[in-house]
Structure 1
Amino acid sequence: MFDWLVHAALRNRLIVALAAVVLLIYGAFTLSRMPVDVFPDLNKPTVTVQAEAGGMAPEEVEQLITLPLETAMAGIPGVESIRSISSVGLAFVYVTFDWDTDIYRARQMVGERLAAAREQLPDGVDHVAMGPVSSIMGEIMSVALPIDPARVSPMTVREYADFVVRPRLLTIPRVAQVVPIGGEVRQYQVQPDTARMAALGIAIDDIASAVKGFSANTSGGFLELNAREYLIRNIGRTTRIEDLQRLPVAYRNGQSITLAQVARVAFAPAIKRGDAGYNGKPAVILGIQKQPDADTVKLTRRVEEALAGFGK
């Protein structure tokens, strides 16, 4: 067989040469279009489901959240294994599929099961969703925003990272996720004054009910007038701290008692569960993760171009 191939190639030198040139050109063309990565992606298609339930212990998270999610994911076609992590107020479920399973088809099947599993979860579960399409080798860049406390507050830098830098980077194709770490997250904090509450006869449930309904637009239906319908809306959405301070909590002797009379209301940073730094100084770090099939070199150039635009 080998001798026949050698003699056939010698008899048809021109055809063999042309075939070699065509293969060489095709190989060079394919090489120029192949994605470049630091390491090959050796992870099987995996869908991550995460849930947040602030205040729950790991045992409660495992029994009330993780177990129902694992049970709902079992039986999905193509699933090889299901792993989970339960911690304080957090649950992560990793659903791993066969190599030949399309990741987007896998996410569709997980999403269908997740919609049914939400009904079995207890009250107090703030967030249940799938993670972005990324891999363990997907973090391609870390961007640091240094914090100079003498010029700007850590809260302002974190807001700039959350609402300016992160949305811009997420618009770049093939960027899966941008995770900010560090700085201070702004919160509306209400700290009840028990002495004032007792003097005015205000219960903690009164404060909780009032704050729960704060800053929300509601609908009042329609008003029919002159053969036309008019939409009735109650515009209550606001972000001003003064509006929260003047929020009525209860009524005594025909007068309203505001939230500022029974509690300290102010903007304050959320409790930190981690921090970030750059060159020994505080900073906000943004971890940029790519999708599994993205070209690391080209995507890095696009991210650098986007970052350069912030300096203009």
Structure 2
Amino acid sequence: ILVYSLLSGAGIILLLQSVFRKIRHTLLTLANLPFALVGGIVAAFLSGGVLSVGSLVGFVTLFGITMRNSIMMISHFEHLVEQEGMRWGLDAAIRGASERLTPVLMTAVVTALGLLPLALGSGKPGKEIEGPMAIVILGGLVTSTALNLLLLPALALRYGKFEPLSQLE
């Protein structure tokens, strides 16, 4: 399983690199994963649970949602600079983050509302897989969503290199 996981991770990184064309943007996209991981682990710990098959499935789902949100943010920054001609700086970072605020929050809120009944019924018989999965996803969503909207734009402002298409050629 470890070998397949590493191969999958390498494939994901290669796909991101082929889309973003800059290693900085790929790394910025991946920077949100530790935030999700910490939130998921803390939620599992606080619920008194251990890491089970259900919680591991929750981490896979959580990482997918987290990557989607990060990709949306970084690609929107690229769009603002490359397509709309904005100069990369504080104004572009604020505009990009504010324009992605609604889609990112809606994803998190709808997912959380859908998983809340599973998380609340976590200790009941028959919920051994669904409960830990929901708890991990909910915990990770809280941290990754907050940090995706607050910290990722700051990291992109500091480390991102967004340039108009004419300068890339």
Q: TM-score, normalised by structure 1?
A: 0.21
Which has a greater percent of strand? 1
The structure having more radius of gyration, on CA atoms, is 1
By relative contact order (CA 8 Å, sep 6+), the higher-ranking structure is 2
